[in-house]
């Protein structure tokens, strides 16, 4: 019978023996089928006949009241093949789409030499990924010759590779009691992996940032979200955590200037604009520079990385120099503006989910600054709400923690009767694994630095 796909096993990576033995294991021990189908899908098989047999076994397995004990009757699989219209009277081989009785008996008659069926599943999946890599390599040549900006082409290809890597993860069905003691131990030890913000009020309320968390800092412009993000990044780095700060708004020199002045306890505006800076402040500036040049905190700043794919690549790149325990992205809407030709809400959803997947796949907390809807400004009560994030796709759904920032001083800055307090309100509007609520910090606008309020707890 002709091979409908007209290809040979030498064209693309494939392991006929692993595919055959995996199918044989499913026939001989149906109790393993459930575990196999959690990981291996029909399109993981290279040979058409093996995809057909897998599909027939799956059809048999999913029938009501099927007993998964004992061996599957070959006649039952043949019946499924006939129902599918893919049973052949003439002899067939692995390269054929239809399956004959002789080839079905050949598969069922195999005796897998390795008892652990996981080995065969791993080999089948490995070959599938290798085939995908070859497809991507061919796509690179094709995309390179097409018209259009090279940045968009590179982004597309990066996303293809990341999707391939994400597909490697097992989709397991886990019983609550499976390894529960070990899980309890891991849960107990998880606190050692958390990253503290460095502010007692925040850390007491949310317990710090945990690997896999997407933490959103939401605020209107000029409210202080970049300052807070940088303060947290510096606190974490000074505590020994590797931090990758991806700034899409400010340049690297601008952020370094701001960070240096924070470390020196000085106002950036005063240092930059006052050529006659007094000697004490000059001494503080250069002392901080010399100290942290000799003992640099592991904070890495870049303005590259407008997409989750690029950001993941940066995380892996910097991770070779220093283990990264926290990623900060400032800010979300500047990721979206690279895709103005598409539906913005749809793109925002894709991007926020991409950032969340990055946090989970790379096992690192991500602090993502985001603007809020301008509709907030038109309300009588200008305090931010969770709904102010909803015009930006599914960001409010994807986030594990959402902190909304508010400074009464900012909105009353022209009110001469108002006594400025320097109080900075943080509404923890969402906390997937804990309580919501409000906390307060003190904000020094001149130095762009935060500190806990006296009696924060």
**Residue written as tokens 């599957």?**
72
**What is the model's pLDDT at position 455?**
56
Which domains does the chain show, CATH number per domain?
16-123 (1.10.860.10), 190-452 (3.40.50.300)
Q: Is the pLDDT of residue 1 over 60?
A: no
Phi/psi-derived region of residue 69, left when phi > 0, alpha when psi is between -120 and 50, beta in every other case: beta
Exposed, middle or buried, 337 (CB in 10 Å: 0-12/13-18/19+)?
A: exposed
Residue with tokens 């059809």: 59
CA separation, residue 63 to residues 84, 215, 376 (Å): 15, 44, 54
Q: What percent of the chain has pLDDT over 90?
A: 28
333 to 202, 221, 337: CA distances (angstroms) = 25, 12, 7
The answer to which of 251-260, 355-364, 406-415, 444-453 has the lowest mean pLDDT is 406-415
pLDDT band for position 321 (cuts 50, 70, 90): confident
Segment 238-254 mean pLDDT: 91
Q: In which element (H, E) is residue 312 found?
A: helix 308-319
- Which of 4-13, 40-49, 142-151, 314-323 has the least mean pLDDT? 4-13
How far apart CA 223 and CA 108 sit, in angstroms, is 68
Higher pLDDT, 310 or 213: 213
CA end-to-end distance (rounded Å), the chain: 78
pLDDT for residue 213 is more than 70: yes
Res 375: pLDDT: 72
pLDDT in tens, 7-36: 444 468 899 999 999 999 988 888 888 778
* Tens of pLDDT, residues 65-77: 555 455 678 898 9
Encode pLDDT of 332-342 as tens digits. 888 865 444 45
Task: Name the residue among 259, 216, 256, 255 with its Cα closest to residue 234.
Answer: 259
- Is the pLDDT at 396 greater than 60, yes or no? yes
pLDDT band at 124 (very low <50, low <70, confident <90, very high): very high
Average pLDDT, the chain: 82
Chain segment 398-450, per-residue pLDDT in tens: 999 999 998 877 776 666 666 566 788 899 999 998 899 899 898 888 888 88
Whether the per-residue pLDDT at 456 is higher than 70: the answer is: no
pTM: 0.66
**pLDDT(356) > 60:** yes
Q: If we measure between CA atoms, which residue out of 230, 247, 249 comes closest to residue 448?
A: 230
Please indicate whether residue 114 or residue 77 has the higher confidence score (pLDDT): 77
Confidence of residue 5 (pLDDT cuts 50, 70, 90): very low
pLDDT confidence of 95, banded at 50, 70, 90? very high
pLDDT value of position 245: 94
pLDDT attached to residue 185: 75
Two tokens, residue 316: 């892996």
CA atoms within 13 A on the CB side of 448: 25
Beta pairing class for 214-219 and 437-444: unpaired
Residue 3 predicted with pLDDT over 50: no
Element (H, E) at 354: helix 344-362
Cβ neighbours around 339 below 10 Å, total: 18
pLDDT value of residue 24 = 92
How much of the chain exceeds pLDDT 70, in percent? 86
C-alpha to C-alpha distance for 440 and 163, rounded to whole angstroms: 41
pLDDT at residue 35, rounded to an integer: 77
pLDDT of residue 412: 65
CA-to-CA separations, 378 to 44, 50, 233, 242, 307, in angstroms, rounded: 54, 63, 32, 40, 32
For 154-176, write each residue's pLDDT tens digit.
777 777 776 666 555 545 556 77
Q: What pLDDT, on the 0 to 100 scale, is given for residue 417?
A: 60
């Amino acid at each position: 019978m002709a091979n409908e796909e007209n290809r040979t096993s030498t064209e693309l990576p494939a392991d006929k023996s692993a595919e055959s033995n995996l199918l044989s294991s499913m026939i001989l021990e149906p109790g393993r089928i459930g575990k196999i189908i959690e990981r291996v899908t029909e399109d993981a098989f290279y040979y058409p006949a093996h995809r057909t047999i897998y599909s027939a076994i799956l059809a048999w397995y999913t029938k009501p009241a099927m007993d998964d004990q004992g061996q599957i009757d070959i006649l039952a699989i043949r019946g499924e093949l006939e129902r599918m219209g893919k049973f052949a009277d003439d002899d067939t081989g692995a390269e054929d789409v239809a399956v004959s009785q002789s080839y079905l008996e050949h598969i069922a008659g195999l005796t897998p030499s390795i008892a652990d069926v996981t080995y065969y599943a791993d080999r089948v999946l490995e070959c599938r990924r290798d085939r995908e890599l070859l497809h991507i390599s061919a796509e690179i040549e094709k995309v390179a010759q097409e018209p259009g900006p090279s940045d968009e082409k590179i982004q597309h290809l990066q996303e293809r590779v990341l999707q391939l890597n994400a597909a490697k993860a097992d989709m397991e069905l886990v019983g609550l009691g499976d390894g529960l003691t070990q899980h309890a131990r891991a849960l107990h030890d998880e606190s050692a992996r958390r990253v503290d913000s460095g502010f007692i009020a925040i850390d007491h309320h949310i317990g710090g940032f945990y690997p896999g968390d997407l933490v959103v800092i939401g605020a209107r412009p000029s409210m202080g979200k970049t300052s807070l993000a940088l303060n947290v990044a510096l606190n974490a780095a000074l505590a020994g955590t590797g931090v990758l700060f991806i700034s899409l708004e400010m340049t690297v020199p601008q952020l370094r200037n701001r960070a240096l002045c924070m470390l020196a306890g000085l106002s950036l505006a005063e240092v930059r604009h006052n050529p006659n800076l007094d000697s004490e402040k000059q001494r503080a500036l250069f002392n901080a520079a010399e100290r942290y040049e000799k003992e640099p905190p592991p904070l890495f700043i870049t303005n590259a990385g407008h997409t989750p794919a690029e950001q993941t690549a940066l995380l892996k790149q910097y991770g070779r120099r220093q283990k990264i325990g926290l990623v900060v992205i400032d800010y979300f809407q500047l990721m979206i503006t690279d895709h103005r030709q598409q539906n913005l809400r749809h793109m925002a959803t894709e991007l926020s989910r991409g950032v969340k997947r990055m946090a989970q796949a790379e096992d690192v907390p991500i602090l993502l600054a985001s603007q809020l809807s301008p509709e907030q400004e038109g309300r009588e009560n200008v305090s931010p709400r969770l709904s102010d994030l909803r015009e930006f796709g599914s960001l409010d759904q994807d986030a594990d923690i959402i902190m909304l920032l508010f400074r009464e001083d900012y909105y009353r800055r022209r009110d001469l009767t108002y006594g400025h307090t320097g109080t900075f309100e943080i509404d923890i509007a969402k906390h997937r694994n804990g309580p919501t609520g409000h906390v307060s910090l003190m904000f020094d606008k001149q130095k762009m630095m935060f500190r806990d309020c006296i009696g924060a707890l």
